[in-house]
């Protein structure tokens, strides 16, 4: 996509329809940016590709006008919304691509950063092997395509086709070599991955901490943290950890980065939100270690939500047990039967009998 072919139309610009119209007529690529959840109905014909042929001319209706539709026209629509919900009518007309980073994907990126810093030859070797494997697989596909093409073009007796027979012999030798190279490369990749896995915990912790920061915008939209900034912070933490003595190398990296994230984030937070950040960091890390159960944490935050009261035991006739408290007690017994089995029956006793 060259710069002189790209037309940028902003949803907040009153003339964005004119820019899209110009792109359609001239066959340019249009970037329609900052779109919100509701799409302008004027673009329905464009999204539907409701093109009408008038003689040899392709025509489309936009804004009440019939304009000529250039075959090279392309429309790209972007939004800054983190989790937009478009109607089925819009979703079926476009190809949705989600560029939001996922926790598992960021974990792999952070793992690559730490391995590249700690074991640069290992990471270079991995990248080279990935390219070799991809090239070898492409070679096998090209060989298959070439043989199929020669078979389809061959006329007469296949055994007498010299070119085809020579190609088959060459392909067999090449195929065997490529398969051997693939097996060797996969074995090398296995050994490399085993070495990289020792640093996996560093990538996992770094990924978790980024999403803790990312969730802060739910508290205040002002809290926004760039992924590129975060990767640089992680790289700096790896370098700084060489000067600290928290234990082994991996523990050094993790502790240094945790402290760096907290210090850097606190510079942007209101005082009342700093304790919340500490709590979130602690809880998310403990969850990843299996020390905090996600269902228990959810219950702690939201309490028990009864969906069907017909199956719920009757609430004891005591003023000190509210409806909400009884919901929490009965749901807690369901979710954690091993720990709280019989708690609902116990609280039905008169407090004097306890």
pLDDT at 6: 85
* Whether residue 241 is found in the same domain as residue 326: no
97 assigned to some structural domain: no
Query: Which structural domain range is residue 317 located in?
Result: 302-353
288 assigned to some structural domain: yes
pLDDT at 2: 43
Q: Which has the closest alpha carbon to 232: 262, 197, 251, 260?
A: 260
DSSP 8-class letter at 40 = P
222 assigned to some structural domain: yes
To the nearest 10 degrees (0 to 180), the angle between helices 323-335 and 294-302 is 180
Structure-token match 């006739």, residue found: 317
Give Cβ neighbours of residue 39 (< 8 Å, ≥ 6 apart).
47, 86, 90
**Rounded Cα gap, residues 182 and 176, in angstroms:** 10
- CATH code at 235? 1.10.8.1220
* Whether residue 306 is found in the same domain as residue 322: yes
* Whether residue 208 is found in the same domain as residue 281: yes
**Rounded Cα gap, residues 208 and 104, in angstroms:** 10
DSSP lists the bridge partners of residue 74 as 29
98 assigned to some structural domain: no
96 assigned to some structural domain: no
**pTM to 2 decimals?**
0.65
Q: Select from 91, 122, 153 the last residue of a domain.
A: 91
260 assigned to some structural domain: yes
Q: Select from 292, 315, 338 the last residue of a domain.
A: 292
**Rounded Cα gap, residues 107 and 101, in angstroms:** 10
* Whether residue 76 is found in the same domain as residue 11: yes
* Whether residue 132 is found in the same domain as residue 213: no
* Whether residue 20 is found in the same domain as residue 69: yes
Q: What separation in angstroms does the CA of 277 have from each of 15, 268, 292? A: 43, 11, 17
H/E stretch holding 233 reads helix 227-240
pLDDT at 346: 57
DSSP 8-class letter at 10 = E
pLDDT at 302: 80
**Rounded Cα gap, residues 25 and 277, in angstroms:** 52
* Whether residue 188 is found in the same domain as residue 272: no
* Whether residue 124 is found in the same domain as residue 135: yes
pLDDT at 354: 44
* Whether residue 175 is found in the same domain as residue 164: yes
Q: What separation in angstroms does the CA of 148 have from each of 122, 151, 168, 170, 222? A: 39, 5, 11, 14, 59
310 assigned to some structural domain: yes
Domain count, the chain: 4
Q: Note down pLDDT in tens along the chain; length 354 residues.
A: 444 578 888 888 888 888 998 999 998 999 988 888 888 888 888 888 888 888 888 999 887 788 999 988 999 988 887 777 788 878 888 888 877 778 888 999 999 999 888 888 888 888 888 888 888 888 888 888 877 777 777 776 766 667 777 777 777 777 788 788 878 888 888 888 888 889 999 999 999 999 999 999 889 989 989 999 999 999 999 999 988 766 688 999 999 999 999 999 999 999 999 999 999 999 999 999 999 888 888 888 887 777 777 777 787 777 788 888 888 888 777 776 655 555 555 555 555 544
Q: Select from 197, 213, 246 the last residue of a domain.
A: 197
* Whether residue 69 is found in the same domain as residue 108: no
* Whether residue 172 is found in the same domain as residue 237: no
* Whether residue 87 is found in the same domain as residue 12: yes
DSSP 8-class letter at 221 = T
127 assigned to some structural domain: yes
């Amino acid at each position: 996509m060259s710069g002189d072919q790209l037309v940028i139309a902003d949803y907040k610009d009153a003339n964005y329809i004119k820019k899209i119209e110009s792109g359609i007529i001239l066959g340019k690529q249009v970037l329609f940016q900052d779109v919100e959840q509701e799409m302008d109905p004027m673009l329905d014909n464009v999204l539907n590709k409701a093109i009408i042929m008038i003689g040899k001319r392709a025509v489309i209706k936009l804004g009440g006008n019939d304009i000529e539709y250039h075959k090279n026209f392309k429309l790209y629509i972007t939004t800054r919304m983190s989790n937009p919900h478009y109607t089925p009518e819009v979703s079926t007309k476009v190809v949705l691509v989600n560029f939001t980073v996922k926790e598992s994907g960021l974990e792999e990126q952070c793992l690559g950063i730490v391995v590249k810093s700690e074991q640069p030859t290992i990471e270079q070797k991995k990248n080279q092997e990935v390219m070799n494997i991809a090239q070898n697989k492409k070679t096998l596909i090209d060989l298959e395509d070439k043989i199929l093409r020669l078979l389809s073009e061959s006329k007469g007796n296949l055994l007498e086709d010299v070119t085809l027979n020579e190609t088959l012999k060459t392909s067999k030798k090449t195929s065997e070599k490529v398969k051997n190279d693939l097996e060797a490369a996969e074995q090398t990749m296995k050994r490399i991955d085993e070495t990289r896995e020792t640093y996996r915990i560093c990538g996992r912790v770094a990924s978790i901490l980024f999403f803790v920061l990312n969730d802060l915008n739910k508290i205040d939209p002002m809290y926004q943290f760039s992924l590129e900034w975060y990767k640089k912070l992680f790289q700096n933490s790896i370098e700084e950890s060489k000067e600290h003595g928290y234990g082994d190398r991996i523990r050094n990296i993790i502790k240094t980065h945790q402290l760096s994230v907290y210090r850097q984030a606190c510079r942007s937070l209101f005082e009342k939100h700093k304790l919340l950040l500490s709590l979130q960091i602690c809880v998310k890390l403990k969850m990843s270690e299996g020390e905090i159960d996600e269902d228990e944490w959810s219950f702690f935050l939201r309490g028990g939500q009864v969906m069907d009261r017909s199956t719920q035991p009757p609430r004891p006739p005591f003023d000190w047990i509210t409806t909400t408290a009884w919901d929490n007690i009965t749901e807690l017994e369901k979710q954690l039967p091993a720990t709280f089995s019989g708690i609902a029956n116990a609280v039905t006793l008169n407090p004097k009998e306890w």
